[in-house]
Amino acid sequence: MKKNKIVVSILIVSLLINLIVLTVDVVPFITSRLEQKYFKNETYINHTKFPEQIIVNRSLAMASSNKVLTVFDEKASFSQELLKIVGKAGRSDSFKLYNYPRAYLISGLTDYARSKKDSVLMSKTAKIFDNYINDDGSPSFVFDKVDQVPFGIAAINLYHYTNNIKYKKFADYIYNYLK
Q: How far is CA 66 from CA 47, 53, 63, 131, in A?
A: 30, 22, 8, 11
Report d(CA 113, CA 107) in Å as an integer. 10
Report d(CA 161, CA 113) in Å as an integer. 10
Q: How far is CA 35 from CA 22, 29, 31, 133, 172, in A?
A: 18, 10, 6, 39, 45
Q: Are 117 and 105 in contact (CB under 8 A)?
A: no
Q: Please state the length of the chain.
A: 179
pLDDT of residue 24: 78
pLDDT of residue 171: 96
pLDDT of residue 51: 85
Give the predicted TM-score (pTM) of the model: 0.67
Report d(CA 167, CA 106) in Å as an integer. 14
Report d(CA 55, CA 48) in Å as an integer. 12
- Residue 90 backbone dihedrals phi, psi, to 5 degrees: 95, 165
E strand or H helix at 14: helix 2-21
pLDDT of residue 39: 75
**Alpha-carbon 6 to chain mean position:** 49
The whole-number mean pLDDT for each consecutive block of 10 residues of the chain, a chain of 179 residues, reads 84 88 78 75 61 90 80 61 62 68 94 96 96 94 90 97 96 92
